[in-house]
A and B are shown apart, each in its own frame.
Chain A
């Protein structure tokens, strides 16, 4: 092929945020609210792969929420949001929205898409982690992909359970008991055909169980896909960011993100979601080992160690030298 492509680092398409109107509010189960979002004048919204999210403006912060549709171009997006009373206010903001309210959202962003060559898709969801899996299941039905869904929910609080039953039939198994769910996950990981990919979204212990069990049973890492709830990050060890171009040193204390520390030092870094999902705040690394905690970089990019998503990721070494 004569086509040789060169890639600019700084070049970026217009942000082009979507202005959306709340066209419907559905309380799925106690504590979980579904928003139906449309363009105020109607019209098609951008298509997206299953497992995509939008970054929604929630008052003074921005949160990433999974889109639950199959991704084909259509006139509405749906997100389902669990109210977290102890959270930082994003979910409470969503739960205060009413029909007719206008919200601002990013275009869809994909970080959890199905792998097209998979022979079978094993979907594992815990709690509100069902939302990207609903999207996966819908797309799998539409495009006739082989799949099954294991879903653990609290008794009486299974968001989307009825529509999932209708959509998936006997490809859905729902559990209210964690030990039963984990046993079923282990059994599935033990005997699904070679070429199966597993996708998990839910609480950290569930993701850990899937990753560890899969590794133990000999699954290659590329066949295991996880989407974490973004809030589940610890405060991290302190380290120092060394800015190679200016020579200045920026201390990053435990509990403060690298992004925040850079901003407080007067270094502007483009950013959007501040949760390691959107990819905007990538900064180049010259030396030192990054401690990757984002959901954005691929395994290969992580291994290269030459960039870090500064909103959530930190440093393994005491110093991290950035090309800033």
Chain B
């Protein structure tokens, strides 16, 4: 337990460089290694960790209960194949012992011993991968995937497999323009941030890869905090406040988001990899404990509210700053 715990801490993408947080210009090229107080992260696009098999089992369960988590408008099939054929080689490179990819022209054979998967399919042939390339991709990587089509001078969220959303819904957002998807986010519209971001993304050239982090907090190690299941997790945000187990139940939730211009389809592949670290785990790094306490205490009310932190923020700050 101790070993698994420290491994999780060591590779955790702790996102705060200062004692206050705003929506900053924090996009950077992908694959840039980051050193943290506890270790480091970020050398690759995919990050396979000790929770890999557990998280993919959880995704399968979520999808089985609610197939609408996987959405694909018909014109996105090429983009889905493109995402799969871009990211499987990436996964093979990340786990050279446990996975292998053999390519004979368009005939690909994929083996993944971490999950006991062995599949042969033909790139572009839908019949060779009955669940579809996007669903298959989602069964092999921990990241949620959104595919954005570019046309008429805008980006459109026209496909996605999202089971670990931080209070949003792929089923609700599918087919929306990038600007519409970001409608509820406070503070970013006055500043033209979303428009700037869309222009930045639309200018990405084939193969260009960027990343950023985002964060919120979640009660328990619950990855599926989508809008659809709000009834299951929403009240925990209130109930956790009086719970002596608060430092074990409250988690800092960090998303490492990648933005990749897919070459073949010209779609933007938006990957969201969610990392959860309890306050108690976080506190094993004194620097993180101090900093996160300061960030939470300083965060403006509207941002705390949008992130859903209002109920337990004071209790979390109390615990973090008492240490």
Binding site for B on A (CB under 8 A): 1-9, 11, 13-14, 46-49, 52, 71-73, 107-110, 113, 115-117, 139, 142-143, 222, 279, 298-301
B206 in contact with A116 (CB, 8 Å): no
SS of A interface (majority): loop
Given contacts A2-B307, A5-B27, A142-B124, 17 further A-B contacts (CB under 8 A): A4-B185, A4-B193, A7-B25, A7-B193, A7-B196, A8-B25, A8-B27, A46-B206, A46-B263, A47-B86, A47-B264, A48-B264, A52-B206, A73-B263, A109-B205, A113-B266, A222-B152
In angstroms, Cα B159 to Cα A250, docked, is 48
A49 in contact with B264 (CB, 8 Å): yes
B209 in contact with A7 (CB, 8 Å): no
A68–chain B nearest beta-carbon distance, Å: 15
A2 in contact with B27 (CB, 8 Å): no
8 Å CB contact of A7 from B27, B167, B168, B208: B27
A-B pairs with beta carbons under 8 Å apart, 29 shown: A1-B181, A4-B185, A5-B259, A6-B23, A6-B26, A6-B27, A6-B188, A6-B196, A6-B212, A7-B196, A7-B201, A11-B210, A13-B29, A13-B205, A13-B210, A46-B206, A47-B207, A48-B206, A48-B263, A49-B206, A49-B264, A52-B206, A71-B264, A72-B264, A107-B206, A109-B206, A116-B151, A143-B124, A222-B152
Determine the chain A residues whose CB is within 8 A of the CB of B320 once the complex forms: none
Indicate if B76 sits at the interface (CB-CB under 8 A): yes
In angstroms, Cα B208 to Cα A47, docked, is 11
A268–chain B nearest beta-carbon distance, Å: 21
A17–chain B nearest beta-carbon distance, Å: 13
Known contacts A71-B264, A108-B263, A116-B265; A7 and B206 CB within 8 A of each other? no
Indicate if B55 sits at the interface (CB-CB under 8 A): no
Contact with A along B141-182 (1 / 0, CB 8 A): 000000001111110000000000111100001000000011
A116 in contact with B263 (CB, 8 Å): no
In angstroms, Cα B216 to Cα A72, docked, is 38
A64–chain B nearest beta-carbon distance, Å: 13
- Give the residues from 177 to 226 in chain B that come closer than 8 angstroms, CB to CB, to chain A: 181-182, 185, 188, 193-194, 196-197, 199-203, 205-210, 212, 214, 216
In angstroms, Cα B79 to Cα A301, docked, is 25
Indicate if B272 sits at the interface (CB-CB under 8 A): yes
Indicate if B78 sits at the interface (CB-CB under 8 A): yes
B5–chain A nearest beta-carbon distance, Å: 27
A6–chain B nearest beta-carbon distance, Å: 5
